[in-house]
Amino acid sequence: MGGGTDQGINRWKVGASFALTYTLQSGVNLGIFFDYFWGETLRHDTESTEGRYFDLGIGSGYDFAISDSWVLRLRGDLGFAGLFTRKCAVETEATPTVETCEETAESDPMLGAGASILYLGKWSFFAEVRELFAFPEDGRLVYATALLIGFWPPPYQPD
C-alpha cells in the first residue's frame, strides 16, 4: 500500500471518523472504529493522481480516571487499512485529446496505538492522537498519524 504524496494522499487533509466504544466497570474499554480521509489531486504536466484512505478495526484499552470529570484513555487497535488511487494521463498529441485513467484499490493488515483525553460533563468532548501502521505484502511499513477531536451531547432524559 502506498500513501505518499505520489499517490495523492496528503496526511494533513480532513477526514471523518466513527467510533463506538464501551467502558466496563473495571476501566477496560472496547470498541470499533472507521476512519476515512479525503486526499488531494496532484497535477504534474499532463498527469494527475488522486487518493483516498480508510481504515476499519477494533480497539481495546484502559481508562485512567484523572479526576471525576477527566479521563486518560490508552488503546491499541487491530484491523485493516485501504487506499484508493486514480491516476490519469492526457495524451496531448492525439486529436482529439485523450485522457486515460487507471484506478487501484488495495487493503492491508493494520495495527495502531493511541491516547485520548476525555472530559465527561454535561457536554462531553475528547481529543485523541492515533498512530496507525499498515503492513503491505512488499514488506514496506506504511504509517499515518491521526488527530481526532469530537464531542457528544448529554444523554436524552424524557420528562
Give the pLDDT score at 84: 85
- Tallying the residues shown for the chain, one arrives at 159
Residue 56 in this model has a pLDDT that exceeds 70: yes
Domains in the chain (CATH in brackets) are 5-40+52-81+107-152 (2.40.160.40)
Residue 121 · residue 69 · CB < 8 Å: yes
Residue 75 · residue 116 · CB < 8 Å: yes
For the beta carbon of residue 73, count every other beta carbon within 10 angstroms. 21
Mean pLDDT estimate for the chain: 84
Rounded Cα distance between 90 and 60, Å, is: 47
Which pTM value belongs to this model?
A: 0.73
One-letter amino acid of 67: S
Rounded average pLDDT over 80-108: 85
Give the pLDDT score at 68: 92
How does DSSP assign 106-128, residue by residue? EEEEEEEEEEEEEE-SSSEEEEE
